[in-house]
Amino acid sequence: MQRIEPLSPEPVPTEPGVPSPSERAPEPVAPERHDVLFACCFPAAAGALAFVGVLRATNAAPDLSVLSDGETGGWWVTTEVDLQLGRQLARMVSAAAYVAAGDHLLPDPGFGPPPVGVSETKSAVPRNTLVSSDVVTLIRTAGVHRVPVRPVERLRILLDGAAAAHIIQRAIDLGLNVRHRPVRLSPLFPGPAGTTTLIELAVSGHRGNLPPSLVNALTRDPAALTCRIAGSQDDLLIEHTVAAPLDDHLLAGLVDAGTWVLAASPFGCRRLDALGEFADSAGLVQLGEDYPLIEEEAPAALPDLQLPAVRIVPRRTEGQALDAVLVDDAELSTIRLLLEGDPLAETARILLGRDRHLLIAPGGILVRIPVGQPLYALGPGPLYLPLGCSLRPQVPPSARRELFHAGQSRAVVLTPRGCWVFDPGTAIPVWALWVGELPELVPQSANDDLRQLLDDLRLDQDQPGPSAHSPDDEAASWHERAMEAELAGRLKEAADLHRGNGSPLRAARLYERAAAEAQP
């Protein structure tokens, strides 16, 4: 026999105490920086320009210097930077790294402290043998290289005014925005090129990229220079089929004033000065001389158009809700048997006619009744068609409103056998079909003495009595208002009444009808 030991109470956790200063974790210590004058040597200008882009992208060296070696033709880039960061950037561009020590540049071993003594190495480079240069000269020497045509949202096109017409027309045909202005182009670098004046077109789409076929055609046009745009102020234009070793947005940061244009030969690199503001090029489009405008006078009478007659034809209407039922005299007794005791009898109405009758309800019947001809509301207003039928030709809502005049005082039912018009003013509750003569009502009012006694017992003569309107009367009133709004074509108002009074299914049907009638 085993003994059951009592459970020990759970230990109460103690509140954590505040650690003493000696127990606290030490504050993180920032890594020690070793800022040095770091230099990288490149055999070609393209490599030096790529390193300039790396420095500008990391924001590690806001100030840098470009030097050239006249003897070897190499290029140097020097900057004040943390030693470890400089080594990583130099490895990334496969450059020979140096550290300045006095008047010399000493090769950096890539680890440990920076070299300090000139006698320690035989590869020291005297700094006075290097010639100071600038990034602009570096860009000119590095040049540009061909790249594939890429998708673009905006283009600038420089061309002669005589060649602008066909490009403007083609862009407008494609639904693009085109603007133009005159510009003056001067050489960006010293050379034999002179100043010239051209037309600048700005082409853009309403949204998304420009059509690739148009971009390819423009880049192959020898009479136009097609450029992509860089810079926050659109101050750098680069020929779209070329690229420099430096990224476009970094090149844009080097623009000192105005706008630069970088392109391959024979156009070359230019400085662009605008001679006016951009104007919409659509104003340049004119009618041809062989395309006159002819004014047409209104005819005295409409021509004979041989209009087709409106007919009711079979059509699939799967999923269509039931909004009304058309019955004849013989089917009224069946309606009584079906709806007596049904919740629909609370709100349904029947519009009496000569030999046809229309059963309706606020928000629609919605439930299938195995009697009569089921109808759906085509609209606008109380305009009904049988399920499985439609109009041919298609008649828009505005035309149906003008042709059939269905509204608060006129309900119209279109069937293949005829068109029936009902007066909503003849509507009676559907329960009137089976509620006949009432039993005799014997009033039981108090005599004069009892009435006086009740008046004396009343504590406050001015206190208002109970409301004369019962909840049933209020329910009936909102049903009537909903039916009135529906017949008048105010479907959203009727739907809101149903939704606010706990009838979401009929509200949804009315919202659906309102949306269908609102469609163009």
Per residue in 252-281, pLDDT (tens digit) is 877 877 898 989 888 888 899 999 999 999
| Range 381-396 average pLDDT | 92
For residue 438, give both structure tokens. Answer: 């009432």
Quote the pLDDT of residue 156.
95
Q: Mean pLDDT over all residues of the chain?
A: 84
Domain definitions of the chain by residue range? 35-142, 145-287, 311-433
Quote the pLDDT of residue 458.
60
Query: Do residues 326 and 412 lie in contact, with contact meaning Cβ atoms separated by under 8 Å?
Result: no
Residue 46, phi-psi category: left (phi > 0), alpha (psi -120 to 50), beta (remainder)? alpha
Quote the pLDDT of residue 440.
83
| Range 87-114 average pLDDT | 88
Query: Do residues 154 and 242 lie in contact, with contact meaning Cβ atoms separated by under 8 Å?
Result: no
442 or 314: which leads in pLDDT:
314
CB environment 278-305: b (16+ within 10 A), e (fewer): eeebeeeeeeeeeeeeeeeeeeeeeeee
Quote the pLDDT of residue 203.
94
For residue 355, give both structure tokens. Answer: 């030999």
The predicted-structure confidence for 29-43, as pLDDT tens digits, reads as follows 555 567 888 999 999
| Range 430-447 average pLDDT | 80
What residues does 133 pair with on adjacent strands? 66
CB environment 202-227: b (16+ within 10 A), e (fewer): bbbbeeeebbeebbeebbeeeebbbb
Quote the CA–CA distance of 238 and 255 in Å, as a whole number.
13
| Range 100-124 average pLDDT | 79
Give the CA distances from residue 392 to residues 170, 193, 309, 310, 376, in Å, rounded to whole numbers and listed in that order. 42, 73, 8, 6, 16
- What single string gives the DSSP state of each residue in 443-480? -----HHHHHHHHHH-S-TTS----S--HHHHHHHHHH
Nearest CA to 147 out of 233, 262, 311 is that of 262
Range in 11-20, 64-73, 111-120, 431-440 with the lowest mean pLDDT: 11-20
Quote the CA–CA distance of 174 and 209 in Å, as a whole number.
13
End-to-end Cα distance, the chain: 89
Q: Which residue has the tokens 């008048």?
A: 488
> Hey, which bits of 188-274 come out as E strands?
196-204, 224-230, 236-239, 242-243, 259-262, 270-274
Inform me whether the pLDDT recorded for 484 exceeds 60.
yes
Does an H or E element contain 250, and which?
helix 248-252
